[in-house]
Structure 1
Amino acid sequence: MGLETGTYIDSLDPTWPTTGDPVSQGDDHLKILKSTIKNTLPNLSGAVTPTHTELNFVDGVTSAIQTQINAVQADVDSNEAAADLGICPIGGIIMYNGAFSAIPANWQICDGTGITPDLTDQFIYGTNTEGELLDSGGSADIGVITHTHPNAGSHQHGAAGGHSHTVALHTGNGSQANYASSTIPTSTDGSKTTSAVGNHQHAATGDHGHAAPAGAVSGTGANIPPYIKLAFIQRIT
């Protein structure tokens, strides 16, 4: 039987050489084996250490592994970029309720360190003007106002009390005369007028005061609504 021919391992026939082949052709068969192995594995210049199980992990791969890894990495980068834009861009600030030691490496608590604003004990006051970013104002305290009322209340009520009474009187000879109210005769004619001074006034003391509870109330921290404390963290990279 003639010698095998082939270029790669898949060309070899495991049934060759047959029992009838001359022993003198044995060296030719060995040369074909070495040739097909070298052609099949041309770039091996050292030991191949992966096991058959490890090599089988690449079963079904139809293109260069690095090419496929690059394609996967491109997808990952694209998804991360989309997530960054859609969830929180660099410079974005969110509220955080967790262990400070667990804050991601590209985030930082907003305590004034680095590029972060110091939001400790601060509320956020929105703006649509870029030039107003990081402006601050307001106060957590309120001013306590004190005042007094004077209690001097003395006063008087005055009235003019002078007045007179006119009565018809008649004398025996028909003449008229004026008489004081205490000296009017019993036998007179005509119209007479009595006269008496009655101006007077009533005096009363009206000093008084108004009392109101005036406990010592501090305005410190009294200008804020009920609250729950959370941390603010900012994405820095």
Structure 2
Amino acid sequence: MKKSLVGAGGLITGLLIIITSNLMAMPISINYQGRLREYNQPVSGTRTMNFKIYSSSSSAIPVWASGDVQITVTSGTFSYQLNPTGVDWRSDELWLETTVSGKILSPREKLLAVPYARHSFESENLNATGLMVNANMNRIVNVSTPTAFDDCATKGYVESWLPVGTILMWGGSQSSIPTGWLLCDGSAISRTTYSRLFAAIGTTHGAGDGSTTFNLPNLRDRFIVGAGNSYVVAATGGEATHTLTVSEIPSHSHTASCSTNGAHTHIYSKGQFVNNGQGGSGYGVWAATPYVDTATSSSGDHNHTITIGSTGGNAAHENRPPYYALCYIIKY
């Protein structure tokens, strides 16, 4: 804002600019520029000035004071950076009072806060576990657990719950993996660039080139099984499809039979000789009935060799339960 301040024997025009802030518009400095005239003449030289911020236009106790500072004025213009501390910038009642060479300039100048957001790289890289930023954004409290709804956890605190090396399933595409995560595709990556991940998993999933890289776990097209008594970490196995071998087929047999009803007989006639001698005459004759019917033996039972035809194509069969595919990602 810009405003003229009239004092005994002087005129000062001040321009207040909030120049920087971190996280939710927290001003940390104000560049104060002004023009100073004495008896309507531009001032040149050094002047002792004092700046105070009050919570109202008439309160007696300031919330902040710069103390006496020596400021160089050139052709009636000067600039000085104020660094107020302990000021609640959310207040609508903040007033600046300026003193030049022991003379208080009046009236006080009302300060108007202008929201200004700026990314804070230092707070993003804060790694201390358990540090909490309070709701007023003016203190960090070393507590282990957030207790209020407006507590703000640091990066280190959050990572204590989701440590580097954690593997999750990602619902998006392989090309849209979120920042801070990598696709578990078995890639060899830098041990330096991803030093925190290397410290967490080492060469468990592959040593890369043996010196500068290491491998991510390759979980593409894989189901996960818990490591324990039967499986060690990074063990692999199983098949998507499988063809049974003879030793894998349960022992079994096949039976077959056919009828043995082959027994039958045939009737045929054969001649018979009858000794029909009479009274010692010394000769014989055929009987009046020279033939008799006779049956053949019924021993016609027999066996047949039976061959049972084979079926099946020896193709591999599906070996997986019903599935739904997602991307496995690892935090670095």
TM-score, with normalisation over the residues of structure 1? 0.46
Q: Relative contact order: is structure 1 or structure 2 higher (C-alpha 8 Å, sep ≥ 6)?
A: 1
- Higher Rg: 1
- Answer 1 or 2: which has greater strand percent: 2
TM-score, with normalisation over the residues of structure 2? 0.35
- Answer 1 or 2: which has greater helix percent: 1
